[in-house]
Amino acid sequence: AATIPRIPSTRLALHHFDTNYSLQLQDRWPSIRVSLLCEQKYGALVNNFACVDHVTQELELQNATDFVSEAAKKVQRLQQGSAVEAERGESVSQEGSGGGRTMTPAETSPLLPSSISSNIKCYTFPRGDITRFRPAWPDTLGFLSYYLMDAASLLPVLALNVQPDDFVLDLCAAPGGKTLALLQTGACGHLAANDVSISRTKRLHQILNSYVPKNIRESVSVTSYDGRDWGELEGGTFHKVLVDVPCTTDRHSVMEESNNIFHRRRTKERQMLPMLQLQLLMAGILATKPGGEVVYSTCSLSQLQNEYVIE
């Protein structure tokens, strides 16, 4: 043990991904591998509780665009185009087969949530532009103007499609980016933000204090329970539940030595992740009202942590 060279956790992670993802992703893996090893590109989630107009003007002057509204425009164009195609298809179907109807992409695709036109705004620089946003600044009320996060982290929040007065549970909430994004919708009747780690929930409290007015914070309950027990604690309570589970966090695993899940001492913990994820998902389902919705998400490419957990 004393003489074997110490292999960095990041190298162990990359070797693991090369072995597994090359089989899973095949021809796509080389380009995805490059992306994982590139510097992370952040988005700026605009804080609607700050002076929004001033913030958006400054971001647009830097040549950043709101990717959420841009996506909404693309969806609208697709829906308009597909509606025309549907009319043509319907008339053809009626002529040829007695009244069949062609479904539009907007009707058949689960990737076009109505919440894409929500109050959430997140600015990113164009593809190929690696400019970094400057640190957020406080407005006259002392609230920070935007929150820097991986823009892809907003996708689970958009998919959750929160409606006015929904009771929402963020089961694994810390450090708080998705919790903050949920509050930006302005739709949560009540938001429960939970994380098993007390130190991480302290960070969540700091974010809420820096970005959210007191009267809004009062509608948020922050707890540190084991998420696996939530179905027993508050079963059948929530309209929407976000289960953003602990995972191998692939980019962090290949870039950072600190707190790396591929450290040899954490091998057993890593191997048990799919079981933990399954237990958290089950707890999230049990916490949901009949007819409610659950979104399960990870920041991993692993089928073991994604498709197989769902199956």
Q: Cα(148)–Cα(123) distance, rounded to whole angstroms?
A: 10
Residue type, 228: R
Asked if residue 198 is part of any domain, the answer here is yes
299 is catalytic: yes
Asked if residue 5 is part of any domain, the answer here is no
Asked if residue 19 is part of any domain, the answer here is no
Asked if residue 8 is part of any domain, the answer here is no
Q: Cα(129)–Cα(106) distance, rounded to whole angstroms?
A: 31
Asked if residue 3 is part of any domain, the answer here is no
Q: How many domains are contained in the chain?
A: 1
On whether 188 is known to bind a ligand per the annotation, the reply is no
311, burial (CB in 10 Å: exposed 0-12, middle 13-18, buried 19+): exposed
Determine which one of 122, 188, 247, 299 is catalytic: 299
On whether 113 is known to bind a ligand per the annotation, the reply is no
Asked if residue 249 is part of any domain, the answer here is yes
The model's pTM: 0.86
Q: Which domain holds residue 171?
A: 38-80+118-309
Whether residue 197 contacts residue 268, with contact meaning beta carbons closer than 8 Å, is answered with no
Residue 191 pairs in a beta bridge with 168, 220
On whether 1 is known to bind a ligand per the annotation, the reply is no
What the block records as the tokens of 212 is 């959210």
Asked if residue 210 is part of any domain, the answer here is yes
On whether 18 is known to bind a ligand per the annotation, the reply is no
Three-class SS state of 110: coil
Per-residue pLDDT for the chain (311 aa), expressed as one digit of tens each?
566 668 999 999 999 999 999 999 999 999 999 999 998 889 999 999 998 888 999 999 999 999 998 888 888 788 777 766 766 666 555 555 444 444 444 444 444 455 455 789 999 999 888 889 999 999 888 999 999 999 889 999 999 999 999 999 999 999 999 999 999 999 999 999 999 999 999 999 999 999 999 999 999 999 999 999 998 888 899 999 999 999 999 999 999 999 999 999 999 999 999 999 999 999 999 999 999 999 999 999 999 999 999 99
Asked if residue 85 is part of any domain, the answer here is no
CATH of the domain at 151: 3.40.50.150
Q: Cα(266)–Cα(253) distance, rounded to whole angstroms?
A: 12
